[in-house]
C-alpha cells in the first residue's frame, strides 16, 4: 500500500527536525511556503503539522505561529528515579510548587491501592513540577501517613519524598508503574501550558519498600512536549 501524502510530509518534516535542519527556536516556514515546497494542498499540510504537534516535535503558540519544540527528555522507564532526579540528570533545573495539601482518610480507592484501611490517614499533595521554570508534570500524590513521623509538617517544595525515605532508612524495593495517553482538558491543560485537547500521558506509580508495604501512590499528568517514554532493556546472557 502506498503511503498517504500527509504521512510522507510528516516523515520529511520529522527527519528534518531530528537531523537538525529545522532547529529548536526556529519557526516553521509559512504554510504557503511549505505547501509550495512539497507540492501539497494546505489541508494535507495541516494534517501533517497537527500530528507533529501531538508528537511533541512542533509547538503552536497562540497568535504567533508554529515553532520547532525543544527536544523532549527521555522518561526512562527502566531507571528507578523520581522526576527531580530525571530533570537533574538532564541538566534541567527542577522545582516544585505545592498547589494543595491535605491530610485525609484513605477512602475506598486509595485504601485498595495502598493496601491500608479506609480510615487510615494519607497525606495528599498536588504538585506542579517544573523544569527550568516550565511546567513538566502535574502530580497528585497520596503518601501513607505513618511511614515518616510528622509527615504533614514537611516542606515538599524543599525536600523530595525519596530523600526523606533515605533519611528514615526506608529502602525502596520496587515501583509499579503504568502509562496511558489521554487528551487533556482544563484546568490541567492550562496549568501545563498546553492547549485544551492536546495529548499528554498519565504515569501512575505505587512505590513499595523492602518490607513489602506500599508507601505512596502518584498520578502524574505529563506534558508530552517535555518528556517522551523510553525503555532500554539489557538481557543478561
Partner 1 sequence: MSKYSNLVNSALVERIEEYIENNHLVSGNSLPPEREFCTILNVSRMTLRDAIRKLCEAGTLMNIQGKGTFLAPSRIIRDVMNIHTPAEEYYKLLSIQKVHAEGSINRALNLSTHNEVYQIKRIRMTPSERTSIETSYIPVSKLKTLDLAALETVSMSHIYGSDTNQKLSQANIKISVSKASFEESEWLGITEGDYVTVEKHTVYRDELPIEYCISVSSAHRVKYSATIYAE
188 contacts partner 1 (rule: CB under 8 A): yes
Q: Which is nearer to partner 1, 37 or 183 (CB)?
A: 183
Q: Is 43 in the site for partner 1 (CB under 8 A)?
A: no
Q: Which stretch binds partner 1 (CB under 8 A): 29-37, 60-68, 145-153, 229-237?
A: 229-237
d(CA 218, CA 161): 11
Binder of partner 1 out of 20, 36, 134, 182 (CB under 8 A):
182
Distance CA 53, CA 28 (A): 12
Cα distance between residue 43 and residue 40, in whole Å: 8
Q: Which candidate, 218, 221, 232, places its Cα nearest to that of 199?
A: 221
Contact characters 142-181, partner 1, x per CB under 8 A: -----------------------------xxxxxxxxxxx
**Binder to partner 1 among 16, 50, 71, 88 (CB under 8 A)?**
50
The two beta strands, 199-209 and 214-223, are antiparallel
15 three-state secondary structure: helix
CA dist 74 and 59 (Å) reads: 18
126 binds partner 1 (CB under 8 A): yes
Q: CB under 8 Å to 83, separation ≥6 — which residues?
A: 94, 129, 136, 137, 139, 220
Applying CB under 8 A, which of residues 29, 31, 40, 54 lies at the interface with partner 1? Answer: 54
Interacting residue with partner 1 among 90, 117, 185, 196 (CB under 8 A): 185
Tell me whether residue 56 or residue 220 sits nearer to partner 1 (CB atom): 56
Q: Does 71 sit near partner 1 (CB under 8 A)?
A: no
| Residue number, 15 or 37, with CB nearest to partner 1 | 15
10 Å CB burial of residue 133 (0-12, 13-18, 19+) is exposed
- φ, ψ dihedrals at 6, nearest 5°: -70, -30
Residues that bind partner 1 (CB under 8 A): 1, 4, 7, 11, 14-15, 50-51, 54-56, 77-80, 99-100, 102, 107-109, 126, 138, 140, 171-183, 185, 187-188, 191, 199, 201, 224, 228-235, 237
Amino acid at each position: 500500500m502506498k503511503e498517504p501524502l500527509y504521512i510522507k510530509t510528516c516523515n520529511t518534516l520529522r527527519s528534518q527536525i531530528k537531523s537538525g535542519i529545522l532547529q529548536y527556536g526556529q519557526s516553521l516556514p509559512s504554510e504557503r511556503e511549505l505547501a509550495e515546497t512539497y507540492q501539497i494542498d494546505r489541508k494535507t499540510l495541516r494534517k501533517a503539522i497537527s500530528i507533529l504537534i501531538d508528537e511533541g516535535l512542533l509547538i503552536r503558540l497562540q497568535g504567533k505561529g508554529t515553532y520547532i519544540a525543544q527536544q523532549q527528555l527521555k522518561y526512562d522507564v527502566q531507571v528507578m528515579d523520581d522526576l527531580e532526579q530525571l530533570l537533574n540528570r538532564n541538566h534541567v533545573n527542577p522545582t516544585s510548587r505545592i498547589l494543595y495539601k491535605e491530610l485525609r482518610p484513605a477512602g475506598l480507592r486509595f485504601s485498595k491501592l495502598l493496601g491500608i484501611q479506609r480510615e487510615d490517614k494519607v497525606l495528599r499533595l498536588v504538585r506542579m513540577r517544573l523544569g527550568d521554570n516550565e511546567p513538566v508534570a502535574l502530580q497528585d500524590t497520596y503518601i501513607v501517613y505513618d511511614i515518616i513521623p510528622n509527615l504533614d509538617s514537611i516542606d515538599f517544595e524543599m525536600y523530595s519524598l525519596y530523600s526523606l525515605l533515605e533519611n528514615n532508612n526506608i529502602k525502596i524495593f520496587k515501583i509499579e508503574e503504568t502509562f496511558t495517553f489521554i487528551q487533556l482538558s482544563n484546568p490541567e491543560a492550562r496549568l501545563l501550558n498546553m492547549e485544551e485537547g492536546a495529548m499528554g500521558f498519565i504515569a501512575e506509580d505505587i512505590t513499595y519498600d523492602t518490607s513489602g508495604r506500599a508507601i505512596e501512590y502518584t498520578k502524574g499528568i505529563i506534558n508530552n512536549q517535555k518528556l517522551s517514554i523510553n525503555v532500554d532493556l539489557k538481557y543478561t546472557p
